[in-house]
Structure 1
C-alpha cells in the first residue's frame, strides 16, 4: 500500500514507523527540514520538505499513485485542505485527517466532511479519543488499559498480576473450570518485557501483565478475580484545563454522580473560560507543581490525581508530588515514549499515551479485510483486532479445533446477534460474527487474511 503522511511530528513519525515496518511504501511531508532529516535517517521512508496542502508537494510525494493520505499536522485547516487537494487533483481513495478543534466536530456541522464539501473519509480527534480512555480508566481503577469493542459490549482489559493476585500459579485451563460462568479469556501475557500468547497449560506469575477479553458487564468481576477491587474515585484533582481536561471534567459532571472534581489550570484566561463552562467543578488558577496550590485543592484527601497538561514533565512531577502529599493514586498523560519505561518506578500508577491512541485509529483503516477496530499494544508488539466474518472468510465453517490458525494469535470472544460467545475448540464462526482477536505483530498479516474480502463476495 502506498501511503502519504502529512506531518512528521510525534504522531506522524509513529504512524510512519509502524507502516514502514510492515513493508508499506510510505512518504512523509513536513515543512521542517530537521524533522524530515530525522525521518530519513531512522526510517525506510521517503521524506519531502514542503507544505502538506500544496499540490506540488503532494505530487512530489507520489500522490498520483497513493492509496491513502493521512494528514496529522498540528493545524486542522492544513489537514482538511490536504484531503481536499488529494481528492480533487489526485483522486486518492482514502483520506484521514486529524481534527482537534471541537468547533468542527459538532454533530450539526458534520455534513461539512461529506464528499460534496470536504471529502474526508475518516476524522481522528485525539482529544476525544484520549478523553474517553481517561474516563474508562477512572471508572475502572484496577485496570492498566481498557478498550471497548463490538459497540461497547465487549472489553479488553490489561491487568497487572500482583503478589496477592488469587489466580497466579494456576493453569489457565483450571480457571475456566473454576469459573465456568465467567466469560473471560486471557489472550496475552507480558512478562519481563516479553509479550506472548499463552497456552491453556500456562500459569500467570506475579509481575505479569495479563490481557483479558470479557463482556462489559463482567469487567469489574474479572478485575476482582485478579485481586483488583479498588473503588472508583469520588474525589479527583485534574491538572490541565486544555481540551482533554475540560472534556473529562464536563463528562464527569454530566454523569451526575457524587464525584467531586477540582481542576488546576496554569493560564489565567483559560481558567476563567473553563470555569464559565463548568458548573460543579472548582477551577483553580496556578501551577500543578506548587505544593501550596495542590493542598488548596485538597490533594491530601483526593482519591485520584489526573495530570493532563501538554507538558509530560509537569504531568509526571505533579503526580509524584500529589502522591507524596497523600493522594491515593494517579493517572498521567505521557506523550514521549521514552518516559513510559520508567514511569512506574517514579510512582506513576497508570498512564495514557495519546500517540498510541491515534496510531490505533489509523491502523484500523490500513488493515485489509473487514476490520472494525484496532488497538495497539506495547508500542506495536501486538494488536487487539475486532473483525467481521464474511461468507468467504476462511475462518467461517469448520470448528476452531480443526482449523490451521496462525501462531501468535488467540480469539478472545465472538459477538453474535447481541450475545457474547466465549471461544472453544468446537465453536464455529458464522458470517457477520464480530470476532475479537489478540495478535502478535508477526501474526497480524495472517489475521487480515482470515477476514479478507474475496472477489466472490461481489
Structure 2
C-alpha cells in the first residue's frame, strides 16, 4: 500500500513506524529537512521537503499512486486543504485528517466534510478521542485503560499492584480457580516488554495486564485483582483547555458521575468554560496551591485528572493530590519518557495524546475486513476486531490454525447473538466476528487472512 503522511511530528513518525514494517511504501512530507533526515535514519521512508498542501509538493510525494493520505501537520487548515487537493487533483481514494480546532468540529457543520464538498473520509479529533478514552477509564474503577469492543465487551488494563490468588498461578488453571467467570488475559506488560502469554505463563506482582471480558463480569474480575469495582463519583479536572472541556462535557453526559469540578489557572478561560458547562463547578486558581485543593475537598475526591499542557504541572499536581488524599490520579503526558517514573511514584494512569491519536488513525488504515484496531504501548500489541466474510481467506480455518504462540491469539468470537471467550475446537464461519490479540510482527499476516481473496476481485 502506498501511504503519504503529511507531518513528521510524533504522530506522523509513529504511524510511519508502524506501517513501514508491514511492506508498505511510506512517504513523509515535512518542511524541516533536518527532521526528515532523522526520520530517514530510523525508519524506511521516502522524505519530501516542502509545504504539505502545495500541489507540486504532493505530486512529488507520489499522490497520483497513493492509496491513502494521512494529514497530521500542526495546522488544521493545511490538513484540510491538502485533503481537498488530494481529492480534486490526484483522486486519492482515502484521506484522513487530524483536526483540533473545535470550530471545525461543530456537529452542525459536518456537512462540509462530504464527498462533494471538502472531501475528508475520516476526521480525527485528538481532544475528543482523549476525552472518550479517559471517560472509558473512569467507568471501571482501578483500571488504567479501557478499550471498548463490540457487543458490550471491553479490554481492561489493570496493574497487578496487590498480592492476590490470581498471581503466580499458571493462566491455564484460572478457569478452575475462578469457575463461571469468563475472561481472558490477553497480554502482559513486564519490564518494558509486552507479550502474549501462554497457558503456562503466570501473572506477577507489578505486571500490567489487559484482560478481555463482557461488561457483566468486569466488576467481579477487577475484584480478583483486589481493585474496588465501584464507579468514580467525585472527579476533579485540572486544566480547562480543549481537552479538559471535552472531558467535562463527556462526563456530564455520563449517568454515574455525580460531582465534577475543574480548576483553571486563567480567569478568562474559566469564564468561557463555565458558560459551556451545566453540571460542573469551575474554580479559578493554581492547582499546585494546597489551599485550592483543600477548597475542592481533595481528600474526598475519587479521581483527579490533570490535563494541562505542561507535563511537569500535571505530574506535580497529581502527586500533591494523592498526598492530600485523592484516591486515584490520571495525568496527560506528552513526554512518555517520564511514564515509568510517574507510575512508580503512585500515579495510577498515564494518558499519551500521541498514542491515542495514532491508535485512532490506525483503525482506518488497516485493510480487509478489519473493523477496529486498538494499539497498545506504541504498537507492540494490537487488539483487532475483524469480520469473516465469504470473500476472506480465513473462512473454514480451524481457530487453532490461526493461533501462533506469542504472536496471534483469538481472544473472543461473536457468532450470531452469542459471544465466546477464547473459543476453541471450532472452525471460522461466514459472519463470525473475531477479537484477535496480535504482536506487531504478525499484523500483516492478520490483514492477509481477512483480505478479499483474489478469486473475488
TM-score (norm 2): 0.94
Question: Does the Cα contact within 8 Å between 1:252 and 1:259 map onto a contact in 2?
Answer: no
1-side partners of 2:374 and 2:353: how far apart?
12
Aligned residue in 2 for 1:45: 45
1:244-263 correspondence runs (5 A) = 244-255=243-254, 257=256, 259-263=258-262
Question: Does the Cα contact within 8 Å between 2:413 and 2:422 map onto a contact in 1?
Answer: yes
Question: Does the Cα contact within 8 Å between 1:6 and 1:71 map onto a contact in 2?
Answer: yes
Question: Displacement of 1:398 after TM fit?
Answer: 4.2
Aligned residue in 2 for 1:59: 59
Aligned residue in 1 for 2:112: 112
Secondary structure of the residue that 1:44 maps to in structure 2? coil
Does residue 124 of structure 2 align to residue 124 of structure 1? yes
Aligned residue in 2 for 1:275: 274
Does residue 432 of structure 2 align to residue 433 of structure 1? yes
Of stretches 42-51 and 272-281 in structure 1, the one that deviates more from structure 2 is 42-51
Question: Displacement of 1:447 after TM fit?
Answer: 1.4
2-side partners of 1:392 and 1:78: how far apart?
38
Question: Does the Cα contact within 8 Å between 2:412 and 2:423 map onto a contact in 1?
Answer: no
Question: Displacement of 1:257 after TM fit?
Answer: 4.4
Does residue 415 of structure 2 align to residue 416 of structure 1? yes
Aligned residue in 1 for 2:289: 290
Question: Displacement of 1:33 after TM fit?
Answer: 4.1
Question: Does the Cα contact within 8 Å between 2:222 and 2:229 map onto a contact in 1?
Answer: no
2-side partners of 1:174 and 1:204: how far apart?
12
Aligned residue in 2 for 1:364: 363
Question: Does the Cα contact within 8 Å between 1:390 and 1:396 map onto a contact in 2?
Answer: yes
Structure 1 pair 289/37, CA: closer, same or farther in 2 (3 Å)?
A: farther
Question: Displacement of 1:190 after TM fit?
Answer: 2.1
Structure 1 pair 425/233, CA: closer, same or farther in 2 (3 Å)?
A: closer
Aligned residue in 1 for 2:399: 400
Structure 1 pair 106/18, CA: closer, same or farther in 2 (3 Å)?
A: same
Question: Does the Cα contact within 8 Å between 1:166 and 1:227 map onto a contact in 2?
Answer: no
1-side partners of 2:397 and 2:46: how far apart?
44
TM-score (norm 1): 0.94
* Deviations 1:321-377 (CA, angstroms, capped at 9, x unpaired): 211222222001112221222221232111111111111122223222211111111
1-side partners of 2:273 and 2:376: how far apart?
34
Does residue 182 of structure 2 align to residue 175 of structure 1? no
RMSD: 2.0
Question: Does the Cα contact within 8 Å between 2:220 and 2:229 map onto a contact in 1?
Answer: no
Question: Does the Cα contact within 8 Å between 1:406 and 1:446 map onto a contact in 2?
Answer: no
Q: Size of the alignment, in residue pairs?
A: 456
Aligned residue in 2 for 1:321: 320
Question: Does the Cα contact within 8 Å between 1:184 and 1:213 map onto a contact in 2?
Answer: yes
Aligned residue in 2 for 1:6: 6
1-side partners of 2:155 and 2:402: how far apart?
25
* Deviations 1:153-192 (CA, angstroms, capped at 9, x unpaired): 2211122223422211222222223444322111222222
